[in-house]
Amino acid sequence: MRGTVLHAPGDVRVEELSDPQIVDPTDVVLRLEATCVCGSDLWRYRGEDSFSSPQHMGHEYVGVVERVGSDVVTLAVGERVVGSFFASDNTCEICASGYQSSCVHRQLMSGAQSELLRVPLADGTLVRVEGEPSDSQLRGLLAASDVLGTGWFGALAAAVAPGKTVVVVGDGAVGLLAVLSAHLLGAERIIAMSRHASRQQLAREFGATDIVAERGDEGVERVRELTGGLGAHSVIEAVGTPDAMSQAFGVTRAGGHLGFVGVSHGVRLEGRDLFMSHVHLHGGPAPVREYLPDLVGRIMRGEIDPGRVFDLDLALTDVAEAYRAMDERRAIKAMLRP
């Protein structure tokens, strides 16, 4: 099969790789219909996450079951499925509490930017898609595999609810779908922090009521002005940098909730500042599997169109351009078709 391999920062290639096999009886092998580049992939692409050997890239996927392990009971060859970036058994106590990304048997998915993908713990990881998706629905299902589920978790972690004012820090795919999630959860006011016109427009179409282009202290002051000096009830941090977390913390009101879903790099919080703030903090890797049945249903019923975050559509063989475009912020999110 063809698959994506990152050899060094900036050096990503499509290569001929061995086809994945059934290793454990709980595995399935998928033939992928769609995959994509994630903003989190850029940390390694830029050299900000170190690695010592070539990396088989990708963790977002929609595909059709091609081979099934002997212990798989809920899936059959030929069924279309979508899964999370963490494999989970979906039966342990942690999974039962809604945190499948911390499953006691979790496995981080990789290798999805390819033609075929082995998925462990398939019964617990994969969700069947009923019906034949349109192209826009296929895009939405791919978004549900990570960025929609992550934005949804960010909104829940920030306790978004009707009547609340929400701030979203970050205008990548996760941030934009956090705006959509906040809108679906009934937020009264949604302030998107963005400096890019095309992303501001999509944020508004997803439900943002206000745009704040300022950053740092100026951004915090602007949000405070918009909220009567108090800050927002709910804040979603969708970047993972120290500046983004500082900005998110600064716009959260006393007693407010800050949901952080950006992959943290160098983020530090001063304990005394946190102690004095009365801010609730919750976040981490999104338990996407918990939300997939609901989100897949909304997509297939045509209630939401999260796949609009894919503004670059390329063949798998053009994966190097997909990485470049996202790294240079010429694209929000690049979809790849094997």
pLDDT at 88: 98
Helix, coil or strand: residue 101: helix
Ramachandran sector of residue 85 (left: φ over 0; alpha: ψ -120 to 50; beta: rest): alpha
CB 179 within 8 A of CB 309: no
User: Quick check: 173 and 337 in contact, CB under 8 A?
Assistant: no
Per-residue model confidence (pLDDT) at position 211: 98
- Compute mean pLDDT per 10 residues along the chain, 338 residues long, and list them: 97 97 98 97 94 96 98 98 98 98 98 98 98 97 98 98 98 98 98 96 98 95 97 97 96 98 91 92 98 98 98 98 97 97
Handedness of CA 122, 126, 129, 130 (dihedral sign): positive
Per-residue model confidence (pLDDT) at position 337: 97
Tell me if 195 sits within 8 A of 213, measured CB to CB. Answer: yes
Domains of the chain, start order: 2-146+287-337 (3.90.180.10), 148-283 (3.40.50.720)
Report field, pTM of the whole predicted structure over 0.85: yes
Q: What is the pLDDT of residue 30?
A: 98
pLDDT at 269: 87
Q: Would you say how long the chain is, in residues? A: 338
